[in-house]
Amino acid sequence: MSINRYTYLCRFDTLEEGVPRRFEAEGVPVSLVLTGDEVFAIHDVCSHSAVSLSEGEVEGCTVECWLHGSRFDLRSGKPLDPPATQPVPVYPVRVEDGSVYVEVVPRGGR
C-alpha cells in the first residue's frame, strides 16, 4: 500500500522509543527510529563499513554504527564521528491514521 510515492512500513504503535527497526521499502533497506514524538527513516547501511545501522544504539537524534562507532544524524544522515566520512540517505516519513509510511527518495535529491 502506498500514499502517492510513500510506502507503508508498520503501525506507529509497534515502534519503541530509541529502538531502531529494519524494514525494506521498494527494495531499499531502511531503519526507522522513534525518538521523542518523531519518526526518522535512515538508510540501514553504514557508509563506512556496510553493516546494519538498525543494530546500533540510538541517543537523541543519532544512531551509532555498532562496528566502528561512527554516529549519524538521523535528520541529515551526516556522520558525526570517524571513521565514516560519507553521509547516508535519509527519507521523508509520514504518520497517518496510526500507520508509518516512508518515501525512499532521499531528501535533497541524493
pLDDT digits 0-9 by tens, 37-93: 899 999 999 999 989 999 999 999 999 999 999 999 999 999 999 999 999 999 999
Please, what is the end-to-end C-alpha distance for the chain in angstroms? 24
Is the distance from CB of 90 to CB of 74 less than 8 angstroms?
yes
User: What is this structure's pTM?
Assistant: 0.90
Largest CA-CA distance found in the chain, in angstroms, rounded: 40
- Partner residues linked to 45 by β-bridges: 52
Rounded Cα gap, residues 7 and 19, in angstroms: 21
